[in-house]
Amino acid sequence: MLERRFWSNCALILLLITSFSIWHIYTSHSIAIRSVYDYNMSTRYSSFSFTLRNINSSYTYPIHQLPPFDYSTLMNLPTFNFLILNKCKTTPLLLILIHSAPTNYNRRKSIRETWGSKLQNASIFFMLGLVREPKLQQKIKEENTNYRDIVQGTFLDVYRNVTYKHVMSLKYAIYHCPNAKYILKTDDDVFVNMPKIMNFLTLEMSPYGAERLLSCSKRNHSPVKRSYRSKWRVSFKEYPNRYYPSYCPGWIILYSPDVIFGLYKQVQKVDYFWIDDVLITGILREKENIQIHDATSLILPCETVKKILKHEFSYDSTNFLYGPADLSLREMYVLGNFVKNASSLKSTSSVR
Ligand SMILES: *[C@@H]1O[C@H](CO)[C@@H](O)[C@H](O)[C@H]1NC(C)=O
Ligand SMILES: *[C@@H]1O[C@H](CO)[C@@H](O)[C@H](O)[C@H]1NC(C)=O
Ligand SMILES: *[C@@H]1O[C@H](CO)[C@@H](O)[C@H](O)[C@H]1NC(C)=O
Ligand SMILES: *[C@@H]1O[C@H](CO)[C@@H](O)[C@H](O)[C@H]1NC(C)=O
Ligand SMILES: *[C@@H]1O[C@H](CO)[C@@H](O)[C@H](O)[C@H]1NC(C)=O
């Protein structure tokens, strides 16, 4: 959550432009980010902190390690339940859990109509909390009747409760989609390049999943905001240190199931802290001794989104796994068309 602003406001544009210009001198015309396919697999992964599974090593969540009544509690909330629940029907390679505000119907629609349509071996669910207005609840129910892709938990859906939402997502993966090989946690204003990520997971990673995988655009040495003017102000009582541990900004996080389980076990025991990504992928990740795999090079920079909007792109611009956070609705649809156009281009050219 914290670092969304960093991406959303493109605050790093200056740095991006500088590095981009230097890099541009060397690469002349291509504006793409580094290809995900350019690596030799064995050398690429040998130094990494995660391992890939093979046909003989599958994973089952050890639910028996959790305390009794774990299912019906959520951190410090003594009672929890899923008010709307759609279980994973198949055994997807990739489970995608999208944090969405109850009123964001148009955002969910834009995902259903762009990257979330015609999924193969992936499942998408939108994670919601409780709403106060019965009318809105009725609308959500109807939406779910139409799409069957909503999960709603019994905590109030407000900003400061987003940690509950993240923990609910972990809980959902463990109890209701236990056979997914990878879990992607994202937000409803992020673009996911589905054909690329499915290829990436099956060909470059492993169709059998991975172990100790926590991959994202890693943030290091983020200072804790203390100013009363900051939306992200945290008191010394809430968090005493000057910097947060390295963590994964919540808008895109790729988990392997064992990491989900380890972090879930920890988070069910700790005091509530409202910055969900810092708590789960920073503080508790350190306790679990899990390393973050930095996937920044696989993310579409917002600079490239701007070029795509202006039609200044090259074919290589499709070489990304995830789009930046805080896309406008229009950007979401343009990116959807862009990826669709590019893949149809690719298939016609390979036919020739
Ligand atoms: C990848 O790199 C390793 C180690 O340098 C080498 O042994 C292997 O042959 C390479 N594989 C390919 C497909 O180039
Ligand atoms: C899986 O196990 C079988 C039988 O033990 C073995 O022959 C095979 O080499 C193993 N495959 C891998 C990828 O480890
Ligand atoms: C989906 O992925 C799972 C897990 O890797 C695999 O076992 C299954 O064969 C895949 N199904 C399809 C239709 O590709
Ligand atoms: C968070 O949700 C809980 C459970 O519904 C509720 O009691 C609490 O007031 C909510 N927090 C805020 C800041 O509204
Ligand atoms: C995709 O193709 C359509 C039809 O050819 C075109 O109108 C549209 O501008 C293209 N969009 C992008 C983002 O390339």
Query: Does the pLDDT value for residue 5 go beyond 50?
Result: no
**pLDDT score at 13:** 42
> Could you tell me which residues come within 8 angstroms of residue 338 by beta carbon, excluding any fewer than 6 positions away?
308, 313, 317, 318
Residue 299 near residue 252 (C-beta atoms within 8 A): yes
| CA of 179 relative to ligand 3 center, distance in Å | 11
Query: Mutate which of 308, 341, 344, 348 to test ligand 5's pocket (most atoms within 8 Å of Cβ)?
Result: 341
Rounded mean pLDDT of the chain? 86
Q: What Å distances lie between residue 141 and 131, 244, 257, CA to CA?
A: 12, 39, 29
**pLDDT score at 4:** 53
Give me the amino acid identity at 195: P
HSE-up (13 A, CA, CB side) for residue 169: 29
Residue 260 near residue 173 (C-beta atoms within 8 A): yes
Nearest residue (by CA) to ligand 4, atom 9, is 156
Instruction: Name beta bridge partners: 153.
Output: 82
Instruction: Kindly state the tokens that stand for 35.
Output: 């290809």
- Ligand with smallest separation from the Cα of 274: 4
Nearest residue (by CA) to ligand 1, atom 12, is 40
**pLDDT score at 90:** 83
Residue 256 near residue 209 (C-beta atoms within 8 A): yes
**pLDDT score at 18:** 40
Nearest residue (by CA) to ligand 3, atom 5, is 207
Quickly list DSSP for 211-251.
ES-EEE--B-SPBPP--TT-TT---TTT--SSBPPSB--TT
What's the average model confidence in pLDDT over 7-30?
Answer: 39
- Could you report the per-residue pLDDT of 319-332, keeping only the tens digit for each? 889 989 999 999 99
Nearest residue (by CA) to ligand 2, atom 6, is 56
What's the average model confidence in pLDDT over 153-178?
Answer: 97
Closest C-alpha among 84, 163, 92 to residue 126:
84
Instruction: Kindly state the tokens that stand for 84.
Output: 């709307």
Highest mean pLDDT among 15-19, 25-29, 209-213, 337-341: 209-213
Instruction: Kindly state the tokens that stand for 165.
Output: 């939402």
- Could you report the per-residue pLDDT of 241-257, keeping only the tens digit for each? 999 999 999 999 999 99
Q: What Å distances lie between residue 23 and 31, 59, 352, CA to CA?
A: 10, 42, 33
Closest C-alpha among 133, 166, 163, 132 to residue 151:
166
Query: Does the pLDDT value for residue 10 go beyond 60?
Result: no
CB 325 less than 6 A from any atom of ligand 5: no
| CA of 34 relative to ligand 2 center, distance in Å | 34
Query: Mutate which of 51, 54, 55, 58 to test ligand 2's pocket (most atoms within 8 Å of Cβ)?
Result: 55
Q: What Å distances lie between residue 298 and 48, 128, 158, 316, CA to CA?
A: 16, 28, 31, 12
Give me the amino acid identity at 65: Q
